[in-house]
Amino acid sequence: MAGIVVVFDFDKTIIDRDSDNWVVDGLGFTDLFNQLLPTMPWNTLMDSMTKEMHAQGTTIDDIVEVLKRSPIHPRIVPAIKSAHALGCELRIVSDANMFFIETILEHLGVKGCFSELNSNPSFVDEEGRLRIFPYHDFTKTSHGCNLCPPNMCKGVIIERIQAGLEGEKKIIYLGDGSGDYCPSLTLGEGDYVMPRKNFPVWELICRNPMLIKADIHEWSDGEDLERVLLDIINMVSVEHNSAPLFSVDCKLQTISTSNHALPHALPVPQ
């Protein structure tokens, strides 16, 4: 549907693992990663890890092969393809990195479904080493958000997307991590946020769902994601066209904040 922009997080939303950890573990560098983790920012650490990988003979092809084995629920790709086929504009906002995301999306055959990828920049240098840099250069300036990591404020990115939308377009935002809370706060009435149940962003929203202006629809796994996402798209279509895009045979599990109460399906953590 042309009036919908679907924004996906990547790690633990499209794929079922953190892509950085997946590569580090898959190539046997977990001990070094854990040793260096307390000493430097995450992006600097990942760039240092790729330097060490290269020094020990790991090639770009080795990294690519590990990325191709990234675990993903079998209903995620059909969900992406269906949303794209229904005319939705799809984008990614992720604190992973461009090389990992593009490699996995190409392997899955869905890179062409996305009109924009927002992530930490990365490239293969002349020596064949993968370089990874922060989306926001926090060594020069701060992005000014105390909810987000210094290298990326997803809320700022969503605000830029919102500013560039023409006409009455609704945003559906899907995520799992604490970094997905800030962009959830930037969504307005008529938008939708899909937090992954029992993950950090879900827990943050649970603390005070009244802070979220968008409609909240939780999901648990890839099958759930597909069902909830397509139901929302269908619901928006009915609102705009008075006709569903496809038949719906299941209900959404929706968190309503209109009555200032939280349903039993999403209890507030103690």
Active site (catalytic) residues: 9, 11
Structure tokens belonging to residue 30: 């977990």
CA angle 81, 83, 84 (to 5 degrees): 65
- Of 73, 3, 70, 76, which is closest to residue 229 (Cα–Cα)? 76
CB-count burial class (<10 Å; 0-12, 13-18, 19+) for 35: exposed
**Rounded-to-integer distance, Cα 229 and Cα 201, Å:** 17
As a whole number of Å, the CA-based R_g of the chain is: 19
Structure tokens belonging to residue 102: 């593009």
